[in-house]
Structure 1
Amino acid sequence: MKSYSEGERMASPPTAVPWIPPVLYTAVLAGGIYHTAVSDGPVHLGRAAGFVAGLVLLLTLELVQRRRWSTSTPARPAAALLAARLVLFSAVAVLDGSGVSRALFVLVPFTAYLAFGRRTGLVCGAGCVVLLVTGYTLWVPRWWVRAEYVSDLLMFGLGLALAVSMAAVAVREQQGRARLEGVLTELASSHARLSEYALRVAELSTADERNRVAREIHDSLGHHLTAVAIQLEKAEAFRELDPQASAKAVSDARWSAGRALTEVRESVSALRDARPFSLTRALTDLVRHLGDDHLTVTLHITGDETEYDAESLTALYRAAQEALTNAHRHGRATRIDVTAAYGQSTARLIVADNGRGFTASTAARPSGTGFGIRGMRERVELIGGRVDIDDRSTPPAAGGVVVTVTVPRSPLLAGSVA
């Protein structure tokens, strides 16, 4: 965009109603020609030619300005053009014997108002009145007692008032259009920004959904597939030594596979009709099928889960699955105690085992570098909960790992868990 110095700041267009000057020039030309035609005195061809030439120059000046500056004229050229018009108005008025050309001076405050503002327009209007009164005083003795001159002065003043009023209306209209264009431009810009933000939100939502699905697959199908693998390994190992234990392991593997399929169906149903989820029932079912002759799993539940949000309960269940799988497979625990306590504002899940702990296990670390631990933390922290892992495998501790998961009653209470 072109910049202008203080002296070349952009002014308003010379007129917001482009037909006014040409119409007035044409009317003055017609009036002058008619007066010359009907006048009884001698015709001065030189004066008449000068009169017509002055009006033609005025029309040419309008055309040149509009072609050179189609929208706005810089302040300095606008001032020069106004001065040129004033000189031509004066010349035409001197050459016009009819006096009609005095009407041209109403364009002075009109043009000045549009180009430089209200104050300049009023000053120019007052100057035109003073100029006319001065001319009358110098060339018309006692003009103030002659009705035709007083009438001309009053009509000229009325014309100036109308011209200034019309200029004020035109300026307000221009300002209104400029404001409307600015609003439309801002709306278009805001729409573009909103579209960009919507695209970013969609991208972030897609990434969040991918992470959620990854956690869901790991915590649900991953857990059960791991259990199936463990049970099948156990069945293979005890096939000859303890057929009964081998058969039970196969049965447990079959249950884990069935449970995996059930959880997939429940997830689909939850997406369709938001079927309520029971953490107590799910934990009871999970613990019952996990215990065997080599692993004792106990479950203690206190409080009521009725008012808890399904997302919070699901987070606790996935954490229990992960903690039990780690204790059984990686920690080689022989006893696991699971405690679920529903409080007034938070629920707490504690999974404590007597296994080898993280020190002896290479599958997971307390820092949460494994995908399972990391996924557990992400799921719980997203709803405002917290995961604490206490590795007790280093002497003189008793051994094992204690996983404590705390979640709020509702994800809306995120940040309230101390």
Structure 2
Amino acid sequence: MKLRQKIIFLAIAPLILALCAIAFAVRHQAISLGQQQRVEIQTAYLASKEAELKHYVTLATRSIAHLYDSGRSDPATLEEAKAILAKLDYGNDGYFFVYDMQGNNLMHPRQPELVGHNLWDMKDVNGSLTIQHLIERAKNGGGIERYLWKKPSSHQIAPKLGYVIALPKWGWMLGTGIYLDDVDEALNKIDAQVSGNISSTMLWIAAIAILSAVAVGLSGLVLNLSEHRVADAKLKVLAQRVVRSQEEERARLSRDLHDGISQWLVSIKLQIEAGIIKLGGGARQAAAAQATFERTASQLNHVLGEVRRISQDLRPAILDDLGLAAALDHLTHEWVEHAGIPIEFSASGGTDGISDVANTVLFRIAQEALTNIARHAQASRIVMQLQGDQQAVSLTVRDDGTGFDVDQIDGNPKRGIGLRNMVERLEAVGGQLRLNSSSTGTSLLATIPCTSPTNSPYA
């Protein structure tokens, strides 16, 4: 690092660190005070509501005390008690409700359609068994229970603070409640105000930081700083990546030739030599030589197939002749024969909106994805989808394999070379790669935006 670069760094670094520390302290203090204020208001409000609900239930029990203490539990007495409770209300959304201990609704003045229905297994949007929890609270001596319920005035699901008690002589659960959307609204206003204040403060700090950085940058311009070295370094890194990619491709081609074609040719050579020797013998030897040459011809067919496979890997002619969809369909069929993993391929839309280079990029990504699945995923099924519209062309590859930790792969320079190659290929044509992986499988989505409208379909 040059001296003038060090000077600018030493000027900017302490300034940015100080502003960041100030911003962190201010933000932490503001959030802490806001949370404290919110908790205090919520605690005081809920305490008052709990006492209010308890008084309401006490008044309700007193209104039917003459019936309950009489010892009668005949239908007429119970209906009279329910009629008294149904008339007790406070406001549009204040009412009493009655259930038996099996979850049957016996009285509900605001939702009469519930009367006579068993709501024991009813769940709210969060999956909570509301009636079971209320009955359990009543059996344990009564008290406060918070849950979600439809608000009669708005017909919307809202949080509710309920108070329930048990009437064991009649097998009833009696309760009432207050909807808490008003307190939630007040608390949300407090949160919004605190958040606005924090954002405003952060904007001021950011503005100060930007102005300070600009001032230092202008001072740096006076020193005529140049970024040629940075650009040269980037070019060197890019050149190294190109050379590395070429060497990796050559190494793969060399392995294919050595492990496949070379071994087949050596075997064929030995069999031909053996067949020539057998031709010099009798009729039995000649028949054996014929069998040897037939086996050799069969092996030559395998060699030709291997040559075609390597040729397809280098540059599939079908990609230029019939397009990306046909090339991918051919690739999946060859892959099923080669790897034995079922692949479900589908294509819709068109690829006229992207360049030939972009088509090649998507084809290479499909090859790399299938190679990674075969090597690491232990998958039993693969789904490949190609979709194109007027905005973009996307390729999706999903498998049901073991998955992997994406963050761990990205953070390890010696692993995930294939994934980095995919990202670099897509970035070169303006695309992007999304990757999700878990223990149930991996999903890869490569998207390239269109440069012109697409009209022709794949099939």
* TM tier, smaller: 0.3 to 0.5
TM-score by length of 2: 0.33
Structure with a larger share of its residues in helix: 1
Structure with a larger share of its residues in strand: 2
